[in-house]
Amino acid sequence: MEKIIKTIAEELNIKANQVEATINLIDEGNTIPFIARYRKEVTGGLSDEVLRDLGERLAYLRNLEKRKEEVVKSIDEQGKLTDEILQNLAIAKTLAEVEDIYRPYKQKKKTRATVAKAKGLEPLANIIMEQTETTPIEEIAKDYINIDKLSDEDKQNKDKVVANVEDAIQGALDIIAEFISDSADFRKYIKKVCYREGTIVTKAADEEEKSNYEMYYDYSEIIRKIPSHRILAINRGEKEEFLKVKIDKPEEKIYWFIEKNIIKGETQFTEMLKTTIQDSFKRLIEPSIDREIRSDLTEKAEEQAIKVFGKNAKQLLLGAPIKGKTVMGFDPAYRTGCKIAVIDDTGKVLDTDTVYPTEPQNDVEGAKKKLLKLIEKDEIDMIAIGNGTASRESEMFVAEMIKEAGRPVHYVIVSEAGASVYSASKLATEEYPDINVSIRGAISIARRLQDPLAELVKIDPKAIGVGQYQHDVNQKRLAESLTGVVEDSVNKVGVDVNTATPSLLSYVSGINSGIAKNIVKYRDENGKLKNRKQLLKVPKLGKVAFEQCAGFLRIIDGDNPLELTAVHPESYEATEKLLDKLGFVKEDLRDKEKLNELRINLKSVNIPTTAKELEIGEMTLSDIIEELCKPGRDPREDMPKPVLRSDVLKLEDLKEGMVLTGTVRNVIDFGAFVDIGVKYDGLVHISELSDKYVRNPSEVVSVGDVVKVKVINIDMDRKKVALSMKGI
């Protein structure tokens, strides 16, 4: 365990005691959100992102140690375990290295070498490898011809027959080729030199065929420099049979290294060994090394893509809610009509309808009449338009329509990713049993504007749709990562236990889907919860789950004002002592004037001294003070608000040099896509994000950011807009 702790500490650049303390907390069954929020003193204040990385590395390294033990046991059972093998295994840092060490001892399927060994040709192979024998090898090989010694039945089996000298020598060389291929030292060197000097080369499968991969039809790039998004693009192009991919290697260096370690001067064996080395490399080593390198590059590229996806998803989930507004959800379409759902400020459905302002019906006047009537009747403040099919045509219609409204109405373009998946889900059926499937999408779009987090947790995180190549990456890893992102987001915001859906509650620390349903059932049968302690009456929610979840659940009009905040029940006593010390009581959190006075007093608290007096940690005290200053406040209020629009731009309206305000819709390795109010999102390439050098776009922008951009190029044919954030 000490070795694992040291490795993780070095990799994450944190102290060994922080790693050890965190591992103990994880092993005790604590969740990452709980550790990040309520065990800061123990971990030294590690963030949820660092804690998740730590958890992943811990699982990998434990798996690595387990595999090493299995390999040692297997080699030992064969009676071939040496101190050198033990030493090599001890320093192996990856599962691939362990498998390379184990390769010579692995039970093999039938190969040319295993057949040759079965024929008794191993001693001949050893003679050739020793290179000391001066008797011509052809003479020595005659002793291994066995055809005359075999039964008639065995003579029919090629795997048993050594018919002549050539058969004997070739079999011995096959054994040597496999020995070279199995050498962990050779494989390690070859991989190292390939990563350093190798090149990925791609060619078109058919140069005449048009595709999205034309830039890769005659392309090469050094392996160590190729960015992850290009690896995933090449993989997809190969999978779709548009590209042929190979790895060019410094073969002369590879042959030189193997020969240096195999050939012992000029002898009768020199040329046959050189030929065998080339055979071993081309037939055995190269195909598997290619697979390993491609697999390794893909794995790293997938990890990067998953990180980008997770970061973008988190920003989307933590988007600022639009509270206190009545919203019309507008789900655009052509033939089947645009679905409309009006939601009041509590999320209740007021009205639904279908209008046909787009092709083929083009009933603009009829649609306008219906919607203007709804705007007046339901006192609509905002219209949320889904960004899918027919979105821009719908936006143009809405922009014209609201000019005739009798009240001020703005519209916002909302990501509708996953809305159709949600609409047909069991959950949507339970929520809206009497509402048509097609209308549910419009309800979801409206609610996403009111509270992105509460609505987006209802769909599979993979369907959130912000990232690159999310369908090409390891789906299990993606699902695990995104589940963690959703958990961190939900617990960062906190959840109103009396209004939350089972979907939202199931992401709260310590609560699974079964407990979430039990909470809602308990609430339905007994009325609103008045305090957190009542959670212990919920079936299957025991003391352990209570400790993990209590601080993340809010009770708005309950018995204890502290339950408006993220203060954990374990800190209630210390919090009340702090309030008493300052001349306040917890009930003052509900009094605006008293709360303002309390805020002023809290600013003057001496953290180190007071923490000692209250017998709590300084980080815990700082968190308590922060919570007392803003009881019931939603941390998402600090996030950028959606861009409200009342008019629409066409691609033809754009001019180079024009400065616009837009919303970042997606951040990828090579830049960011920004919605500037035309039909197609513009791309700010990584080189145009800042006047300074940018290593990673997410250092500069996040999904949901509202940014000023300048139009630098318009490609009308390809419907592409290039943008810049430099010098604005």
* Cα–Cα nearest to 374, from 446, 321, 314, 468: 446
Same domain, 171 and 31: no
SS3 184: helix
Separation between Cα atoms, residue 482 and residue 488, nearest integer Å: 10
In a domain, residue 478? The reply is no
Same domain, 133 and 23: no
Looking at residues 172-184, what average pLDDT do you find? 94
Indicate the number of domains in the chain: 6
* pLDDT above 70 (res 466): no
Of 450, 466, 485, the one marking the end of a domain is 450
Mean pLDDT of all residues belonging to the chain: 90
Distance of CA 127 to the CA centre of its chain: 54
Contacts by 361-369, CB closer than 8 A, 24 or more apart: 361/337, 364/397, 367/338, 367/397, 367/401, 368/397, 368/400, 368/401, 368/404
3-state secondary structure labels for all residues of 207-259: CCCCCCCHHHCEEEEEHHHCCHHHHHHHHHHHHCCCEEEEEECCHHHHHHHHH
Q: Which of 428 and 280 is assigned the larger pLDDT?
A: 280
The residue type of 470 is Q
CA distances 707 to 111, 352, 659, Å, are 62, 34, 10
Radius of gyration of the chain (CA): 33
The residue written with tokens 């919860």 in the block is 529
Structure tokens at 275: 């030929």
Q: Which of 1 and 673 is assigned the larger pLDDT?
A: 673
Q: Supply the CATH number for residue 333's domain.
A: 3.30.420.140
Give pLDDT, residue 465: 62
In a domain, residue 583? The reply is yes
Structure tokens at 247: 């790895």
C-alpha dihedral sign at 587, 589, 590, 596: positive
Of 509, 529, 559, the one marking the end of a domain is 559
SS3 126: helix
In a domain, residue 179? The reply is yes
Same domain, 47 and 62: yes
The residue type of 30 is N
Phi-psi sector, 418: left (phi>0), alpha (psi -120 to 50), beta: left
Same domain, 299 and 186: yes
Give pLDDT, residue 424: 84
Same domain, 535 and 606: no
Looking at residues 232-244, what average pLDDT do you find? 93
Give pLDDT, residue 468: 62
Same domain, 699 and 623: no
Give pLDDT, residue 415: 82
Work out the number of other CB atoms within 10 angstroms of the CB of residue 130.
11
Which are the contacts of 462, defined by CB distance < 8 A and separation ≥ 6? 470, 475, 478, 479, 482
Give pLDDT, residue 645: 65
The residue count for the chain: 728
Host domain of residue 26: 2-105
The residue type of 138 is E
Give pLDDT, residue 258: 96
Q: Supply the CATH number for residue 208's domain.
A: 1.10.3500.10
What are the tens digits of pLDDT across the range 624-659?
999 999 888 888 777 767 766 666 667 787 888 888
Give pLDDT, residue 661: 83
What are the tens digits of pLDDT across the range 100-134?
999 989 887 889 999 999 889 999 999 999 999 99
DSSP string, 307-358: HHHHHHHHHHHTPPP--S--EEEEE--STT-EEEEEE-TTS-EEEEEEE--S
Q: Say which DSSP state 282 is in.
A: I
**CB–CB of 669/697 below 8 Å?**
yes
Work out the number of other CB atoms within 10 angstroms of the CB of residue 560.
19
What are the tens digits of pLDDT across the range 345-392?
888 899 999 999 999 999 999 999 999 999 999 999 999 998 888 888
* pLDDT above 70 (res 77): yes
Structure tokens at 265: 């001067």
Separation between Cα atoms, residue 154 and residue 152, nearest integer Å: 6
Same domain, 516 and 591: no
Looking at residues 669-689, what average pLDDT do you find? 87
Instruction: Give the H/E segment covering residue 84.
Output: helix 83-91
SS3 424: coil
Separation between Cα atoms, residue 663 and residue 672, nearest integer Å: 10
Pairing of strands 720-724, 682-685: parallel
Work out the number of other CB atoms within 10 angstroms of the CB of residue 110.
9
Q: Identify the band that residue 702 occupies on the pLDDT scale cut at 50, 70 and 90.
A: confident
Measured at the CA of 726, the angle between CA 724 and CA 727, to 5 degrees, comes to 135
Give pLDDT, residue 382: 93
Give pLDDT, residue 469: 66
Give pLDDT, residue 589: 92
Same domain, 574 and 537: no
Looking at residues 582-605, what average pLDDT do you find? 91
Separation between Cα atoms, residue 19 and residue 24, nearest integer Å: 9
Same domain, 417 and 377: yes
Same domain, 585 and 664: no
Looking at residues 332-343, what average pLDDT do you find? 93
This prediction's pTM: 0.78
Same domain, 45 and 181: no
Give pLDDT, residue 270: 94
What are the tens digits of pLDDT across the range 37-52?
999 999 999 999 999 9
Separation between Cα atoms, residue 493 and residue 482, nearest integer Å: 17
Separation between Cα atoms, residue 41 and residue 623, nearest integer Å: 11
Q: Which of 472 and 173 is assigned the larger pLDDT?
A: 173
Of 89, 105, 121, the one marking the end of a domain is 105
Q: Which of 323 and 505 is assigned the larger pLDDT?
A: 505
**CB–CB of 546/536 below 8 Å?**
yes
Structure tokens at 93: 């840092």
Same domain, 546 and 669: no
Looking at residues 292-302, what average pLDDT do you find? 91
In a domain, residue 95? The reply is yes
The residue written with tokens 């006075």 in the block is 597
What are the tens digits of pLDDT across the range 4-33?
999 999 999 999 999 999 999 999 999 999
* pLDDT above 90 (res 463): no
Looking at residues 613-627, what average pLDDT do you find? 94
* Cα–Cα nearest to 175, from 223, 210, 127: 127
Longest dimension (CA), the chain: 108
In a domain, residue 317? The reply is no
